[in-house]
Amino acid sequence: MMRQIFFVLCTICIASSAASSQALTDKIQTVLPPAPAKAPEDFIIGPEDVLQIAVWKEPELTSKGVVRPDGKIGVNLLGDIQASGLTTEQLKQTLTLKFARYVAKPEVSVVVLEIHSQTVHIIGSVARQGAYILGGPLTVVELLARAGGLAEGAKPGQIEIMRSKAGQTERIPFNYKAFMKGEKMQSNIQLKNGDVVVVR
């Protein structure tokens, strides 16, 4: 009898602990900020991108800001610094040289928190045509989903991605109908800045 009572009490405690743990997890998820954008190494910073700049062991030099339309961003101690047109590594090197005037052997980090400068467009037979921010890796199918899917009368086998390359326009076909059948899965490519998806 005592064993049964002990077992019931343990079960109640475990359930209560699990519920409390889940509530705490939910609360943490609500409080925590969104994860930084996963910018590729060759990502080129542009206007409206949100950056965080930090110097190791120098918390007062940490700054977070938006790249302005003129391509510059305000940095603690240094003032306005050109950021647009540079990769995060190039900006890091520039900042390291400038901070070296004030800090011995500065270790600088540049993190892209939000990407707003890169966009792709989708036109034609979709629910919502227009420009979409390329805030991270985005495939053709994911863009179609963002655009509300294909409109009535669309030709899913005749979708094209228009991509500027070396001054010329490259046409990349995408057969959505075949993709949905599990065929030509590799054709669901990741989109690049400036791509235009045309849905006939």
- Over residues 68-93, mean pLDDT: 97
Q: What is the DSSP string of 141-157?
A: HHHHHHTTSBPTT--TT
- The HSE-up count of residue 67 (CA atoms within 13 Å, CB side) is 30
Could you please state the CATH topology (level 3) that the domain comprising 119-199 is classified under: Outer membrane lipoprotein wza fold like (3.10.560)
User: Could you state, in order of their start, the residue ranges of all structural domains in the chain?
Assistant: 50-114, 119-199
Whether 10 shows a pLDDT value over 60: the answer reads no
pLDDT band at 6 (very low <50, low <70, confident <90, very high): very low
Q: Which long-range contacts (CB under 8 A, 24 or more apart) does 69-74 make?
A: 71/46, 71/47
pLDDT digits (tens, 9 = 90+) for 12-58: 444 444 444 444 334 333 333 444 556 777 789 999 999 999 999 99
Which is higher by pLDDT, 112 or 13?
112
- What's the confidence (pLDDT) of residue 37? 58
Closest by Cα among 103, 101, 88 to 53: 88
CATH number of 50-114: 3.30.1950.10
Q: Comparing 50-114 with 119-199, is the CATH topology the same?
A: no
What distance, in Å, lies between the first and last C-alpha atoms of the chain? Answer: 74
| Contact indicator for 187, 112 with CB cutoff of 8 Å | no
Would you tell me how many other CB atoms lie within 10 Å of the CB of residue 46? Answer: 18
Q: Which amino acid is at 129?
A: Q
Beta strands at 50-55 and 63-66: parallel, antiparallel or unpaired:
antiparallel
Tell me the pLDDT tens digit for each residue of 137-182. Answer: 899 999 999 999 999 999 999 999 999 988 899 999 999 999 999 9
Per-residue pLDDT of 114-129, as tens digits, reads 999 999 999 999 999 9
